[in-house]
C-alpha cells in the first residue's frame, strides 16, 4: 500500500547538475554522464529524508514509506570498511559514477579509517551499524549496553572521518529491532534501514549467487533497497557485474541523503577515541603521509 510520504521524503528540488543547493552541493545531484563509461548507471534521483522521530525504511520490516518508483534501487553496504573488499566496491561504484549508502561497523571504522575516508571522499552516504555488531535484541544486553553500542558506533564512524557528523541513518545488526532501541533511535531522530532485497552475500562463496539472488528478487519486486556487505569477498567480486546487469535491466539508482547531519555525543566520542587509539582524528590521507620510495 502506498502511503503519503511527501512530508518526510522530499525529493531534492535542485536535481539538475550545477543547480544543487548550497548546503547539499557535495554529491547531492543527479549524475547523467560518466566520463569513459557510456553504459554507466549514474544517479537518477537524490532523495532527502527528514529523519525526525526515526522513520523506518525497507519493507522487510518497515512498510510506512513506499518512496521508490518502479525500477528504482538503493544500493546499501554493511559491515565495512574492510581492506581489499571495500576499495573493490568503491572502484565498481566509481566505474558507474553511482552512489551508495554505507553502514560501517564502529570497530572496523577505527581499524581502517583511511578506507572509510575514501568512502566519504567518493561522495557516498555514510550512516552507522553499531560499535561491534552485537544483536541488540539479545536479552543479556542491558538497555544501557545497547544504547552504548549504538552511540559508540556513531562516534567511531564520526571520529574515523576526522570528527565530521555522519548521516542520521542506522542499520541494526542482523536486522533485529528491539522496541526499546527503536524508540531510542527515534528520540535521536535517526532513520532505520531494513531491506527490500537481501543479497544473502554472507552465505555466498562466489559472486554468481549474489548477482542471481539480487536480480531474481528485483525482477520479481521491480524495485527496492538492496542489502549487501562491502565486508564480503563475494560482493566485492559481484558488484561490478551486478551494476552492469542493473543498467542492462533498466534499473536506476537513487541516492539517499539526510536532511540534517547526525551529531555524535561527546561522551561517546571520548570512549570511541580511547578504544580506537590515538592519531585517527587528525590523520591525513595515508598516501600523503607514506609512500614507497624503494622496493
Ligand atoms: Zn551487519
pLDDT in tens, 101-153: 999 999 999 999 999 999 999 999 999 999 999 999 999 999 999 999 999 99
Distance 290 CA to ligand 1 centre (A): 32
User: Is pLDDT at 6 greater than 80 in this prediction?
Assistant: no
Give the chain's domains with CATH numbers: 53-253+263-279 (3.20.20.370)
Q: What is the mean pLDDT of residues 175-191?
A: 97
pLDDT recorded at residue 282? 65
Distance 218 CA to ligand 1 centre (A): 21
| Confidence at 2, pLDDT banded by 50, 70, 90 | very low
pTM value is 0.88
For residue 14, give Cα distances in angstroms to 11, 22, 24, 256, 276: 9, 10, 9, 14, 39
Mention every residue, 6+ apart, whose C-beta is less than 8 A from residue 185.
Answer: 54, 150, 170, 192
pLDDT recorded at residue 60? 92
Of the candidates 202, 231, 227, 230, which has an alpha carbon nearest to the alpha carbon of residue 214?
227
Distance 19 CA to ligand 1 centre (A): 36
Distance 255 CA to ligand 1 centre (A): 20
pLDDT recorded at residue 121? 95
Which residues are bridge partners to 75 per DSSP? 226
Distance 229 CA to ligand 1 centre (A): 7
For residue 46, give Cα distances in angstroms to 49, 81, 214: 10, 24, 22
Mean pLDDT in the chain?
A: 90
Q: What is the mean pLDDT of residues 206-227?
A: 97
The residue among 47 and 13 whose pLDDT is bigger is: 47
| Helix, strand, coil percentages in the chain from 3-state DSSP, rounded to 5 | 35, 15, 45
Amino acid at each position: 500500500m502506498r502511503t503519503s510520504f511527501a512530508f518526510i521524503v522530499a525529493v531534492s528540488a535542485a536535481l539538475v547538475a550545477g543547480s544543487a543547493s548550497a548546503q547539499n552541493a557535495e554529491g547531492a545531484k543527479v549524475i547523467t554522464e560518466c566520463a569513459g563509461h557510456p553504459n554507466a548507471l549514474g544517479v537518477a534521483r537524490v532523495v532527502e529524508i527528514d529523519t525526525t522521530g526515526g522513520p523506518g525504511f525497507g519493507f522487510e520490516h518497515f512498510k510506512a514509506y513506499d518512496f521508490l518508483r518502479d525500477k528504482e534501487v538503493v544500493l546499501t553496504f554493511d559491515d565495512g570498511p574492510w581492506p581489499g573488499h571495500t576499495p573493490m566496491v568503491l572502484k565498481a561504484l566509481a566505474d558507474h559514477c553511482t552512489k551508495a549508502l554505507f553502514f560501517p561497523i564502529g570497530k572496523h571504522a577505527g581499524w581502517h579509517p583511511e578506507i572509510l575516508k575514501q568512502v566519504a571522499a567518493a561522495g557516498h552516504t555514510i550512516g552507522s551499524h553499531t560499535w561491534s555488531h552485537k544483536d541488540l535484541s539479545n536479552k543479556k544486553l542491558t538497555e544501557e549496553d545497547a544504547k552504548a553500542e549504538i552511540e559508540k558506533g556513531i562516534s567511531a564512524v564520526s571520529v574515523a572521518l576526522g570528527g565530521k557528523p555522519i548521516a542520521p541513518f542506522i542499520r541494526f545488526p542482523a536486522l533485529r529491532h528491539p522496541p526499546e532501541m527503536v524508540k531510542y533511535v527515534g528520540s535521536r531522530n535517526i532513520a532505520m534501514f531494513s531491506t527490500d532485497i537481501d543479497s544473502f552475500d554472507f552465505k555466498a562463496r562466489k559472486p554468481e549467487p549474489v548477482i542471481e539472488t539480487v536480480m531474481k528478487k528485483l525482477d520479481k519486486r521491480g524495485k527496492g533497497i538492496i542489502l549487501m556487505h562491502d565486508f564480503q569477498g563475494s560482493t566485492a567480486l559481484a558488484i561490478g557485474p551486478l551494476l552492469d546487469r542493473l543498467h542492462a535491466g533498466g534499473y536506476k539508482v537513487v541516492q539517499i541523503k539526510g536532511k540534517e547531519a547526525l551529531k555524535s555525543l561527546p561522551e561517546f566520542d571520548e570512549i570511541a577515541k580511547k578504544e580506537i587509539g590515538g592519531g585517527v582524528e587528525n590523520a591525513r590521507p595515508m598516501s600523503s603521509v607514506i609512500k614507497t620510495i624503494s622496493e
